[in-house]
Every structure is written in C-alpha cells, then in structure tokens.
Amino acid sequence: MKILVTAFDPFGGDAINPAFEAVRKLPKIIAGAEIEILEVPTVFHKSIHTVTEALDKGSFEAVLLVGQAGGRFDLTPERVGINLDDTRIKDNEGNQPVDVPVVPGGPAAYFSTLPIKAMVENIRKQGIPAKVSNTAGTFVCNHLMYGVLHHIAVNNLSLRCGFIHVPFLPEQVVARDNTPAMALDDIAKGLEAAVEAMVLHRDDIKVTGGAEF
C-alpha cells in the first residue's frame, strides 16, 4: 500500500507551516504502508494541480492532505469540502477570490472518504487532542480538499482522500495572545496515528463525532 501525504508551504506572513514540518517527520513506513510526502503551494488551483499530477503519476491507495488551522486546539480531520472560495487573505501569489466556486458547475460538496472517526480515536490514544471538524474553511485548504475529491470522482479513481488540520506551533503564537499551539513532535505523532488508522480501517467506526455548533 502506498499513501501520499501532502502539506502546504508557509503562508499568511508566517515563516513556517506546521503541517509540512510535521509531515517531514513521518516514518517512511506506517503500519506496513509506504509513505510518500509532497509539499504543496498555498495557491488556488496550482495546489490542486500539484496534488492531482502526483496522484496520476503514482499508484496510491489513499491521500491525506494536511494544512494549518491557526487557532484550533486539536488535530481535526475534516468531514466535508465545499464548492466555494471566499478568502479573507491572499494566497501566496496574491489571489483573493470571493464567492467563487472551486469548480464551476460542480457538486455543492464532497465528503471525506477517509475513516475520520477512527483517525480521531487513534490520535487520542496517543494522548493528543483530536476531534472531527465539520468545516475546512473557505481558503486554500478547503479548495484543495474539494478539488482533489472532485478529480477522484470525475475520473472514477479507486482512491481514498481526506484532509486534516493541525494547530500552530508554539513559536508561531509568541506574538499571538491567547492562541493555542501544539509541539511539533506531538503533531507528527498525531499524523502518524491518523495514517495508521487509514491503513487499519477501510470503513469508519461508529462513534459520535458530531457537534452542536
């Protein structure tokens, strides 16, 4: 089994992105699966092309997309990606779409095809906070999740795909008062647990993962 794990480069004025720093620390083999990593530009459309090109060239069974969600306490596997770009900040090439579909005429949303609840449970077993998220935002993270799932759907690919967000690193919140952070080693350990769950669970487990808001 081969799994592609992708993560974004730094954006929004930060010098580092905890997503890629953590992905770089992943073992080359997790639960018997071969792990290949890929850095993705934080740029609309170019991000989708970068990942889909790699998927089309490789023989992967699954892809885990990883991004930074500054302000969150937990590792958060995303349940759904929506067909909307609506951005508060510019991407790394100055693009700032507002109320624009990711794919004109595409479905309203795509659900993750990864075992997100099993991933949460396995991360928690490592003593690391995790929960299911029901919004991937409307920036490049959601854009990439939706775009890759759309590529898989329209090409009838037998490929599981989903997204997970990670918190800031401690050094990123020195000047951000009252903002949560997580140590790099813990983020990496949590991502390894998430990938392990992907390997061990083709179907998700039946436990609550809902939220009131």
- What does the alpha-carbon distance between residue 20 and residue 187 come to, in Å, rounded to a whole number? 10
Query: Would the pLDDT of 213 be above 90?
Result: no
Helical packing angle, 46-57 and 140-154, nearest 10°: 40
Mean pLDDT for all residues in the chain: 97
- pLDDT tens-place string over residues 180-198: 999 999 999 999 999 999 9
Residue of 78, 121, 192, 196 with catalytic role: 78
Classify 126 as helix, strand or coil.
Answer: coil
Residue of 45, 141, 151, 196 with catalytic role: 141
- pTM for the model stands at 0.97
Residue of 45, 143, 150, 165 with catalytic role: 165
Q: What is the CA radius of gyration of the chain?
A: 16
Identity (one letter) of the amino acid at 171? E
Residue 165 annotated among the catalytic residues of the structure? yes
Indicate the burial class of 167 (C-beta count within 10 angstroms; 0-12, 13-18, 19 or more).
buried
Band of residue 20 on the pLDDT scale cut at 50, 70, 90: very high
Neighbours of 99 (CB within 10 A): 9
Superfamily, domain 2-200:
Peptidase C15, pyroglutamyl peptidase I-like (3.40.630.20)
- pLDDT tens-place string over residues 80-116: 999 999 999 999 999 999 999 999 999 999 999 999 9
- pLDDT tens-place string over residues 115-172: 999 999 999 999 999 999 999 999 999 999 999 999 999 999 999 999 999 999 999 9
- What does the alpha-carbon distance between residue 13 and residue 6 come to, in Å, rounded to a whole number? 21
Residue 141 annotated among the catalytic residues of the structure? yes
Which residue ranges make up each domain of the chain? 2-200
